[in-house]
Amino acid sequence: MTHGPGISGLIMEEPLLWEKGKQGRTAFSMPDQDVPEATVEIDKNLLGDGPDFPDLSEVDVVRHYTRLSGWNFGIDTGMYPLGSCTMKYNPKINEKMAATPGIATSHPLLADELSQGTLQIMFELQTFLASLTGMDAVSLQPAAGAQGEMAGMLMFAAWFRKKGEKRTKILIPDTAHGTNPASAALCGFKPVLLQSGSDGTLDAKSVAELMDEETVGIMLTNPNTLGLFEQSIREITAIVHERGGLVYGDGANMNAVMGIVDFKRCGIDIMHLNLHKTFSTPHGGGGPGAGPICVVDELADFLPIPRVIKSGDKYHLQYDCPDSIGRLHAFFGNYGVLVKAYSYILSMGAENLQKASQLAVLNANYIRESLRDVLHLAYDKPCMHECVFSDKKQQEYKITTLDMAKRLIDHGYHPPTIYFPLVVPGAIMIEPTETENKDDLDQFIDVFKDIIQEARENGELLRQAPTRTKLRRLDETQAARKPCLTG
């Protein structure tokens, strides 16, 4: 039986921070009190006793987080084929660059002439992203993909407001990421569900049926969240444009098509990119991300402020944009994340980025071909950066997607994305990314096959999984029914 890298070993238990500590201990190096102690000239009733934080020593804190880290799994630990998430390797040098003194220490409110380095990075990144997507103008404000979507939706609204049109609906495919309808709703649009066809992609006809004068347009993802390229994209965008609508593109899956697809040519008007996916900035256990939006010229005036412009050899922040939807972030978005993506793009160059997309797609197709005999393939079409299976074939053994996912953990793999997209019941969405090599993919495939065999022969192994982890399956129902959010 093939075995993944997962084995059992010694790790350390560790209590909650406030279950340690003793009053009077300290882990902070006290700065010099080089000014006299001032008497506090604040009303007594405005003053407090300070929070009930535990007092710890430096080694207490160090052991705490060192031990906690041992219960976690990151890309550096092993393969993390989480579909729709693009968990590629995060280069160490990017971290170092973002921490460059002078870059990491810069204050956001300095005058432009005092932060030319900061602004140059932003300006060049804007240019790079425009070139990568084929679009015309870029704003780096959005702090994540969802905020990019929101910016896009606000721009839709502003566009129609300016045109004096009142439209309230928006078409969103059933395969869309949940943030799409949520962002649209936040901006006052009513999502209209667009059913994807039986082949997993959109049918221009259904768009034609639904796209009307009350509809601002469409919000679609290409390649979509099934890992499929929307082949009717040109027809769809043409229909929407014909009827006065706009097209929003969710570019979270850009990793499949760098240097391969031109989104402007596809007819996209606004799109966001997830720098924390395609451009290798680490996910940090949930964030921070960055979700810049790229638009065609016609929409540039509506972009959030500020953008960076260059005049002569100087860089400036541009605030004077009367049509702008305004500001999304207190300053320039997650600037440090932008720096890492900038560093990555400079390290890769055009050729390597295109190669990365090719290899990401190769890896996904390789897994698709290698597992299609044992797992039900949701759509039998060439896939892009990810492939979607389901647990259909395992149902007769009463084994679910969840069981297989949890068993992968014991073997040392992070499970794929499961039960998403919703259109595929029991979905198993695998996105290997380009940074996994063939040997590691082969081992993963073999282990997955073995798990499927176990499903037939010894299903309990799967239902009980994981068993090697510090904790077994957790009771999510109790957590939600009696929420305990603080200790």
Partner 1 sequence: MRYLPHTEKEIEAMLAVTGHGQLEELFAHIPEDCRYQGDMKLPEPLSEWALSDHFQSLAANNYSTSAKAVLLGAGSYSHYIPEMVPSLIQRSEFLTAYTPYQPEMAQGTLQGIFEYQTLTARLLGMEVANASMYDGASALAEALLMALRIAHKKHTVAISSAIHPYYREVVHTYLQAGIFNIIELPVAENGRTDLAGLKEIDDLAAVALQSPNFFGVIEDLETASREIHAAEALFITCFTEPFAYGLLRSPGISGADIVCGEGQSFGMPQSSGGPGLGMFACLKKHQRNIPGRVAGETVDIEGKRGYVLTLSTREQHIRREKATSNICSNQGICTLTAAAYMASLGATGLRRVAKLNYDKAAYLKNGLVQAGAKLLFSGPTFNEFVLTFADDFKPVRQRLLDKGIIAGLELSRFYKEYEKAYLFCVTETVARTVLDEVIEEVRS
Ligand X SMILES: Cc1ncc(COP(=O)(O)O)c(C=O)c1O
Which positions from 313 through 352 interact with a second copy, judged by CB under 8 A?
Answer: 347
Between CA 65 and CA 316 the distance in angstroms is: 41
Between CA 135 and CA 247 the distance in angstroms is: 13
Which residues between 12 and 31 bind a second copy (CB under 8 A)? 12-14, 20, 22, 25, 29
Answer yes or no: are the C-beta atoms of 394 and 400 closer than 8 Å. Answer: yes
In the list a second copy, ligand X, partner 1, none, the entry touching 8 (Cβ below 5 to 8 angstroms by class) is: a second copy
Between CA 122 and CA 341 the distance in angstroms is: 11
Q: Is 91 in the site for a second copy (CB under 8 A)?
A: yes
Which residues between 381 and 420 bind partner 1 (CB under 8 A)? 381-382, 405-406, 409, 414-415, 417, 420
* Min dist. Cβ of residue 400 to partner 1 (A): 15
Among 1, 8, 50, 164, binds partner 1 (CB under 8 A): 50
Residue 100 DSSP symbol: -
Q: Which of 102, 99, 98, 74 is nearest to 88 (CA)?
A: 74
Of 58 and 165, the one with the shorter C-beta distance to a second copy is 58
In the list partner 1, a second copy, ligand X, none, the entry touching 1 (Cβ below 5 to 8 angstroms by class) is: none
Which of these segments, 144-152, 189-197, 205-213, 468-476, binds a second copy (CB under 8 A)?
468-476
Between CA 427 and CA 424 the distance in angstroms is: 5
Q: Name residues whose C-beta falls within 8 Å of residue 76's C-beta, 6 or more positions apart in sequence.
A: 90
Phi-psi region of 259 (alpha: psi -120 to 50; beta: other; left: phi over 0): left
Which of these segments, 149-157, 241-249, 389-397, 452-460, binds partner 1 (CB under 8 A)?
149-157
Q: Is 100 in the site for a second copy (CB under 8 A)?
A: no
Residue with tokens 């994305």: 417
Q: Which of 469, 454, 455 is nearest to 426 (CA)?
A: 455
* Min dist. Cβ of residue 19 to a second copy (A): 10
In the list a second copy, ligand X, partner 1, none, the entry touching 84 (Cβ below 5 to 8 angstroms by class) is: ligand X
Of 100 and 318, the one with the shorter C-beta distance to a second copy is 100
Between CA 214 and CA 188 the distance in angstroms is: 13
Q: Is 104 in the site for partner 1 (CB under 8 A)?
A: yes
In the list a second copy, partner 1, ligand X, none, the entry touching 252 (Cβ below 5 to 8 angstroms by class) is: ligand X
Which residues between 246 and 285 bind partner 1 (CB under 8 A)? 257-262, 265-266, 274, 276, 280, 282-285
Among 79, 125, 135, 157, binds partner 1 (CB under 8 A): 157
The single-letter code of the amino acid at 185 is A
Q: Name residues whose C-beta falls within 8 Å of residue 144's C-beta, 6 or more positions apart in sequence.
A: 274, 276, 287, 288, 289, 290, 291, 334
The single-letter code of the amino acid at 305 is I
Strands 387-390 and 376-377: antiparallel
In the list partner 1, ligand X, a second copy, none, the entry touching 225 (Cβ below 5 to 8 angstroms by class) is: ligand X
Answer yes or no: are the C-beta atoms of 465 and 451 closer than 8 Å. Answer: no
Q: Is 145 in the site for ligand X (CB under 6 A)?
A: yes
Answer yes or no: are the C-beta atoms of 144 and 290 closer than 8 Å. Answer: yes
Residue 146 tokens, joined: 């969802």
What is the contact surface with a second copy in residues (CB under 8 A)?
A: 3, 5-14, 20, 22, 25, 29, 57-60, 62-63, 66-67, 70-71, 73, 75-78, 89, 91-93, 347, 409-410, 412, 435-437, 439, 466, 468-470
